[in-house]
């Protein structure tokens, strides 16, 4: 795909334009990547943004003061902060549901002024699964309510929420879609004409669009999406099974494990699993700090979806200080390294924590 770096395009006559006018509004490189991601999600339309948060906040900009959002307690920290500290200040209130695995709890939270149900599945960091089809059926019974699903943790390779009735799908393309830890981008996908028109207006008006070079990099990354996602799944399941049987680990959450509370739902709703693993270490903050400090292959760092395995302790991160996250919960984004090296590294760090 050629990179179109032009910011403006020649007009054939005053007030007349060909395919492109100005790159904030439209750009060949951006249009290409939008079409590619839309095809992956099975969507009619795709819209690219300068980051995942730019895409997320654009959805919230569909709402007006006095409107209401239903979301989950278990939620990406950036989304939670925006809803609590920005949207709330604009008189857009949010009800955070504690247990979204039961669709009835989501239904109870919907009010007359609810305009958006925003869910992650699997959720961050608890890897809770939401039954998209059942929630979509609930939303359909209400007028003027949209269902938006954050699909970042699975990518369209392993889950396509539009197939189950979602109105909008968000992917932080920074993660699995790109897969190389060198792009910041967010994507919104929809097949609803009216929703697309409103989102496109906001994309062009707010202007939080990616550069043509980032669009080129994302298009490059998506060419290897199938092989990368299959390896992430293989490595992630191997690591999850290892951790589930380790004496230093209290509990492991991975939708691909039979022990996961929504394992059967995952089998119905997903085509596979990513490299995301959440586990609870036996101990508290000190043991968690000692564990991650002892790792030699797995990297302590933010994000996910690249070659490298990344680990974090959500309870110790600034964006989750206000959230009810157990101090011994650890989020591991399993990468593409040789899985034997990853397991050996995790094992030695866990054993070191247990040693007197």
Q: How far apart are CA 185 and CA 53, in angstroms?
A: 9
Average pLDDT over residues 108-131: 98
Q: How far apart are CA 109 and CA 95, in angstroms?
A: 7
**271 counts as catalytic:** no
* Share of residues in the chain with pLDDT > 70 (%): 97
Of the given ranges (12-21, 120-129, 269-278, 279-288), which has the lowest mean pLDDT? 12-21
- Assign 12 a pLDDT band (cuts: 50, 70, 90): confident
Average pLDDT over residues 222-236: 99
21-54 pLDDT per residue, tens: 877 989 999 999 999 999 999 999 999 999 999 9
Marked catalytic residue, from 67, 74, 150, 167: 150
Task: Assess whether pLDDT exceeds 90 at residue 267.
Answer: yes
Average pLDDT over residues 214-243: 98
- pTM greater than 0.85: yes
Q: How far apart are CA 142 and CA 149, in angstroms?
A: 17
Q: What pLDDT is attached to residue 354?
A: 77
**150 counts as catalytic:** yes
**285 counts as catalytic:** no
Q: What pLDDT is attached to residue 137?
A: 98
Pairing of strands 114-120, 93-97: unpaired
- Do the domains 225-353 and 28-220 match in fold? no
Q: Which fold would CATH assign to domain 28-220?
A: 3.40.640
- Assign 66 a pLDDT band (cuts: 50, 70, 90): very high
Task: Assess whether pLDDT exceeds 70 at residue 321.
Answer: no
What CATH class does 225-353 carry? alpha beta
- Assign 15 a pLDDT band (cuts: 50, 70, 90): confident
Q: How far apart are CA 177 and CA 188, in angstroms?
A: 13
Marked catalytic residue, from 30, 115, 128, 175: 175
Domain boundaries, the chain: 28-220, 225-353
Marked catalytic residue, from 76, 157, 176, 216: 76
Pairing of strands 299-300, 310-312: parallel
**268 counts as catalytic:** no
In degrees and rounded to multiples of 5, residue 280 shows phi and psi of: -110, 120
């Amino acid at each position: 795909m050629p990179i179109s770096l032009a910011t403006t395009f020649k007009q054939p006559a005053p007030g007349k334009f060909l395919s492109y006018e100005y790159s904030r509004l439209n750009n060949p490189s951006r249009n290409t990547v939008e079409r590619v991601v839309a095809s992956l999600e099975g969507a009619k339309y795709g819209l690219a943004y300068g980051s995942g948060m730019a895409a997320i906040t654009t959805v919230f900009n569909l709402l007006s003061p006095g409107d209401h959002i239903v979301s989950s307690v278990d939620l990406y920290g950036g989304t939670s902060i925006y809803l609590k500290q920005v949207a709330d200040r604009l008189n857009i209130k949010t009800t955070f549901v504690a247990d979204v695995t039961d669709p009835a709890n989501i239904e109870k939270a919907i009010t007359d002024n609810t305009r958006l149900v925003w869910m992650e599945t699997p959720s961050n960091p608890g890897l809770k699964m939401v039954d998209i089809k059942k929630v979509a059926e609930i939303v359909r019974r209400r007028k003027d309510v949209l269902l938006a699903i954050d699909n970042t943790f699975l990518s369209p390779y392993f889950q396509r929420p539009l197939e189950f009735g979602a109105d909008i799908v968000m992917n932080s393309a920074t993660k699995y879609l790109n897969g190389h830890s060198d792009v910041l981008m967010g994507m919104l996908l929809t097949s609803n004409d009216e929703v697309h028109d409103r989102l496109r207006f906001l994309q062009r008006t707010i202007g939080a669009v990616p550069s043509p070079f980032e669009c080129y990099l994302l298009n490059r990354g998506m060419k290897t999406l199938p092989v990368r996602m299959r390896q992430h799944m293989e490595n992630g399941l191997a690591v999850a099974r290892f951790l589930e049987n380790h004496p230093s680990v209290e509990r492991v959450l991975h939708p691909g494990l039979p022990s996961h509370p929504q394992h059967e739902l995952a089998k119905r709703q997903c085509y596979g699993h990513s490299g995301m693993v959440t586990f609870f270490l036996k101990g508290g903050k000190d043991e968690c700090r000692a564990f991650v400090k002892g790792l030699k292959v797995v990297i302590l760092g933010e994000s996910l979806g690249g070659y490298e395995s990344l680990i974090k302790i959500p309870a110790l991160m600034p964006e989750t200080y206000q959230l009810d996250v157990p101090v011994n919960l650890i989020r591991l984004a399993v990468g593409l390294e040789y899985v034997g090296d990853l397991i050996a590294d995790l094992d030695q760090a866990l054993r070191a924590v247990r040693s007197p």
